[in-house]
Structure 1
């Protein structure tokens, strides 16, 4: 683990150097979604991070001083799980950039209920702001969710989930990265180092990745059974690289 923590320290230092202006200078949202042709895509300026929040790294605070350009207000009817909710107009929303433990099939995966409660306590039966970036193949809106804070600023739900250890940073492939991807990976590294949530007792086992893949797998995974030249590493190292667990072979608690 000493080697992984060393890698983690180097990565966090690189993020700090490379993001000196990334949290304060407006820029366009960088996600390129592969949703339907009718998907609504909003190009928006990135909001400025607040110095508030519980993160030791102020640049990694999930609270922003202001909303991004293009964010629109909606009302929530129901929160399904940590990363999925339903609006009062019956449209479903999937949070971009994160993947929370699954509530189904029963019993829920570890920390699935914690993730749901985190989102529900902040979004249910209230107004939220969505920065919409298309739709997925299920017809759900893909969006960043922001909620107003009593003390000022707007909490990014996805970043908050990752900070608490209730979600993995998640991107389907290397071509589809949300505007805050580097920040999500950095927040995730902090959560792992602090052993929050899913990182509290995680098994730092050996896993493998393909040359261009965005996920890590067990060597027995059916998705990589015909692939040669797999790279082997520990889960902690894969996490620092921004890889996410395979949703098939790594799904079991």
Structure 2
């Protein structure tokens, strides 16, 4: 689905559950969305299926996903698929457009995903090494991600969102050529929670075009956008978002890790 009224379709169509994503920590359901002229594939995360967290208020993750989408849209960055908060078969929840990704690499192929593992010392051109670790078999591996401007834009967005859970599997390369981020329920806390696998640009300047978008976003935030975000976030969290934007404008450099756990676990 790539249409101007995607949000309207997501909000109004009847959800038919097809199955559950078993590896997700919160209840994540794959659904068809009946729109009267066919079906659209979506992800539905009911609020009642959210696992309690010690540092995020209960029942707020779906709203944080919607707020993250609103922020990305206000920036003009098509990074997060269309996302709405609506009722469904299991009560209110987040509904998001499904991203169809490219086919996985064939066995034995040297092609890497956007975020991947490779043997140490064999990081291919166009990738940045984040760290070295040991896999389940005890072999040393390098965690790498693509040196891709579309992924850099996602990394900058994560700083603004204060994303506490940017795993490798949350960065998707769509068949439409776009790079999308999903799973933004653990975002937008007022305290520093940034945990990501996208540390490859740490300490480097933020490109001028992205800085311009952040400047326009910061100017617009106190108005209608803040009113829309207030349905999902507290005033303190919205104020913290504005401070993060202004901090990036004052010091337009990608941050260095500041916490004891800068990478989410598991990393994928």
Per the shorter chain, which TM-score range? under 0.3
TM-score, structure 2 normalization = 0.25
Higher relative contact order (CA 8 A, sep 6+): 1
TM-score, structure 1 normalization = 0.26
Specify the structure having the higher radius of gyration (Cα). Answer: 2
Report the structure, 1 or 2, having the larger helix content.
2
